[in-house]
Structure 1
Amino acid sequence: MSARTIGVVMNGVTGRMGYRQHLLRSVLAINAEGGVPLSDGRRILLEPVLVGRSEPKLRDLAERHDISDWTTDLSEALADPGNLIYFDAQVTHARVASVTKAIEAGKHIYAEKPTAETLEDALSLAKAAKAAGVKNGVVQDKLFLPGLLKLKRLVDGGFFGRILSVRGEFGYWVFEGGWQQAQRPSWNYRAEDGGGIILDMFPHWAYVLETLFGRIEAVTAKAVTHIPERIDESGQAYAATADDAAYGLFELAGGAIAQINSSWCVRVNRDELVEFQVDGTEGSAVAGLRNCRIQHRSTTPKPVWNPDLPATERFRDQWQEVPDNGEFDNGFKIQWELFIRHVLEDAPFPYDLAAGARGVRIAEAGLLSSAEGRRIELPAAGTEEGTP
């Protein structure tokens, strides 16, 4: 059966994430494998239409990957009826206007998170897409990491018994940009440009906690700007006005407590850049990007606190590795394939703009908690007007 080609407007792919994970490792990788397979045997190829502000960057990217269609005019790309999907990986503060324009043009929407800087704007996008009848989705890539897929397997299998707590550690040292070049763009550290680690990472933790462990009922957080001045891409010093570290406490439905530290000012002393430890009455697990280790109740050692004697065994050696039991593809690519099937054959896709708004809601609650020094309760969906 012959393949069908659909146009995908990709806005913001000159940036690091948009280029590496979405264009290179998702859309172009899908085409290299012959397209997205549908249930009726057809395959769908994706024709990327690159959109951005920099003509030289777009031209270079298009020539490098033999892409014929690119433009600095978003309206021009949206006017083509062959372009069914609009994808947005721009800086956060530019997303709402562009996604709104794409919804008005009748395009199906796929967007990076956070979908907006405020809950009000995130909800407006979700409502506009629903009113327009367009399919919509938000990137929730962490759910497809091998380590978290293994962790979900344990949760679904009842390994933990009653889950008591979740402890998360995420982050690494981002160079200030002086004597070593920063590995993240400078806008990440300017609140006026939509930067800040809470707005960046709390939407991730929202969908991870919601999907694996339950609804977040309350948030207590402390946002900090540890490094007050950084050096931008042109070598100029600038004031870091956004938070570069956040320390969060999330109360979950059912009574479990999640504690997650997020920081761009921490040097890594763990096996992976992000790790979650889950403790339950029947067992515990530590999951990272790729690996997951477990310790069952029946094999739990009996540590005794004695500061006068050295430990006789490495605690890490007392844990068992969870096997892969399958092949793990790139998480961004997997979600792209799911969204294409959702658009073309109405396959399930729960990661919509309403889910994205819930992530923004958690980020907004974290910022409010930090600013006012208090615990923020979150009513269940439907119990408060406008909540997703």
Structure 2
Amino acid sequence: MVNEQRSIGIVMNGVTGRMGYRQHLVRSILAIRQQGGLSLPDGTVLWPEPILVGRSESKLQTIAKEHGLDRWTTDLDEALRSGAEIYFDAQVTSMRSEGVRRAIDAGLHVYTEKPIAEDTEGALELGRLARSAGIKAGVVQDKLFLPGLRKLKRLVDGGFFGRILSVRGEFGYWVFEGDWQEAQRPSWNYRAEDGGGIIVDMFCHWRYVLEDILAPVRSVQALAATHIPERVDEQGRTYPATADDAAYGIFELDGGIVAQLNSSWATRVFRDELVEFQVDGTEGSAVAGLRRCRVQHRSMTPKPVWNPDLPATEDFRGQWQEVPDNTEFDNGFKVQWEMFLRHVACDEPFPWDFLAGARGVQLAELGLESAAEGRRVEVPELTL
């Protein structure tokens, strides 16, 4: 017996960009097609039909040809009138709100990258518009689906840490200036007027990582820096970097937990993964990255002795244990796409709505305020 197939059109705006193309089109939507579609609880197979949207006709045509797709356009309104059910946005931050607003007006469900708007009030307004229109809305929270953080969440839920005391996080890598080596990130990331900056980018992530895995954020104190004041863009032109490329934040969470998170595009990596979080508790500690998670329980904690006059002979990393996978981990972006598709198709739960997106924007906005004024800022509750 062949299961019934149901097509669902998805307007994908911004697929010519790095994240929109690699993670959302290739590793999510096309990967779902390659596995034969998405099986729904009633036995129906959901078949995503992407409609590619972007500003460059030649780039869209190249992508479509490479992947055997025939629906693409540079006209967003044309795509929104195509009969598609979902609008996805991976544009630059400064253009996102307008695209999302037009999709809501057209009656499409919306799934979008973050930040969903340039300020908190704009994000809340999108949430109210989505609620009034009766459409389903979701925001990408990809790091929750990384294997390392899923293992960390498992440890928290299982009570491994006892009372959690603190979190220390390190994220970042060296992004080349663009002169003698091409930059790994687009130049708009370093222009505040185009929605760039690492606080705007990463504090949205830190909000949902901290709150979904550990506890709600109650205050932020941040120091922003532009370590590299001048960079070279994609056309070889030198431009001033007007946005922060590093941020050093202290976050107070419920329960007295203190989180210290460093984010930088001007640091060289001397750790096992590009992002790592160490969580310390009364009963044990863990270090989680993108894929790995290692632990040291209270009963297995050695007693190191500080002696600066002698070389250290202990293998400190060897004293930690690896947390097993215990399951197969699929691409995190794809996993969340499947959840949102089921949310639209059969009303399965999807907790990361536009209010969740607004909370991320709020933390970024308050982080910038804290950095500008040099003070600790409380994080108030948000409602639509």
Instruction: Tell me, yes or no, whether TM beats 0.5.
Output: yes
TM-score by length of 1: 0.98
Does the 8 Å CA contact 2:163/2:281 hold for their aligned counterparts? yes
Q: Which amino acid aligns with 2:17?
A: G
Does the 8 Å CA contact 2:165/2:258 hold for their aligned counterparts? yes
List gaps (5 residues or longer) in structure 2: none
Equivalences for residues 274-353 of structure 1 within 5 A:
274-353=275-354
Deviation at 1:378, TM superposition (A): 1.4
Partner of 2:20: 18
The whole-number CA distance in structure 1 between the counterparts of 2:44 and 2:166 is 45
Partner of 2:55: 53
Does the 8 Å CA contact 2:4/2:43 hold for their aligned counterparts? no
Post-superposition CA distance 1:250-308 (Å, at most 9, x none): 00011100000000000000000000000000000000000000000000000111111
Partner of 1:180: 181
Q: Which amino acid aligns with 2:36?
A: G
Does the 8 Å CA contact 2:37/2:48 hold for their aligned counterparts? yes
Question: Is 1:153 the equivalent of 2:154?
Answer: yes
Equivalences for residues 105-144 of structure 1 within 5 A:
105-144=106-145
Q: Secondary structure at the residue paired with 2:184?
A: coil
Deviation at 1:126, TM superposition (A): 0.8
> What is the aligned residue count?
382
The whole-number CA distance in structure 2 between the counterparts of 1:243 and 1:314 is 37
The whole-number CA distance in structure 2 between the counterparts of 1:104 and 1:254 is 42
Q: Secondary structure at the residue paired with 2:381?
A: coil
Post-superposition CA distance 1:181-211 (Å, at most 9, x none): 1010000000000000000000000000010
Q: Which amino acid aligns with 1:211?
A: D
Q: Secondary structure at the residue paired with 1:254?
A: helix
Does the 8 Å CA contact 2:294/2:320 hold for their aligned counterparts? yes
Deviation at 1:154, TM superposition (A): 0.2
Partner of 1:214: 215
The whole-number CA distance in structure 1 between the counterparts of 2:380 and 2:110 is 28
Post-superposition CA distance 1:102-142 (Å, at most 9, x none): 00000000000111111111111111101100001000000
The whole-number CA distance in structure 2 between the counterparts of 1:35 and 1:66 is 16
The whole-number CA distance in structure 2 between the counterparts of 1:79 and 1:182 is 37
Question: Is 1:168 the equivalent of 2:169?
Answer: yes
Q: Which amino acid aligns with 2:171?
A: F
The whole-number CA distance in structure 1 between the counterparts of 2:118 and 2:315 is 44
Q: Secondary structure at the residue paired with 1:262?
A: strand
Question: Is 1:41 the equivalent of 2:40?
Answer: no
Q: Which amino acid aligns with 2:57?
A: E
Corresponding residue to 1:78 among 77, 80, 88: 80
The whole-number CA distance in structure 1 between the counterparts of 2:101 and 2:181 is 39
The whole-number CA distance in structure 2 between the counterparts of 1:380 and 1:60 is 45
The whole-number CA distance in structure 2 between the counterparts of 1:327 and 1:30 is 16
Deviation at 1:379, TM superposition (A): 2.2
Task: State the percentage of identical aligned residues.
Answer: 70
The whole-number CA distance in structure 2 between the counterparts of 1:257 and 1:380 is 19
Partner of 1:8: 10
The whole-number CA distance in structure 1 between the counterparts of 2:121 and 2:57 is 33
Question: Is 1:251 the equivalent of 2:248?
Answer: no
Post-superposition CA distance 1:149-204 (Å, at most 9, x none): 00000000000000000000000000000011101000000000000000000000
Q: Secondary structure at the residue paired with 2:262?
A: strand
The whole-number CA distance in structure 1 between the counterparts of 2:63 and 2:313 is 56
List gaps (5 residues or longer) in structure 1: 382-386
Q: State the 4+ residue runs in structure 1 displaced beyond 3 angstroms.
A: none
The whole-number CA distance in structure 1 between the counterparts of 2:311 and 2:99 is 60
Post-superposition CA distance 1:229-260 (Å, at most 9, x none): 00000000000000000000000011100000
TM-score by length of 2: 0.99
Does the 8 Å CA contact 2:178/2:231 hold for their aligned counterparts? yes
Q: Which amino acid aligns with 1:39?
A: P
The whole-number CA distance in structure 1 between the counterparts of 2:380 and 2:360 is 14
Does the 8 Å CA contact 2:142/2:333 hold for their aligned counterparts? yes
What CA RMSD, in Å, does the superposition of the two structures yield over aligned residues? 0.7
Equivalences for residues 349-364 of structure 1 within 5 A:
349-364=350-365
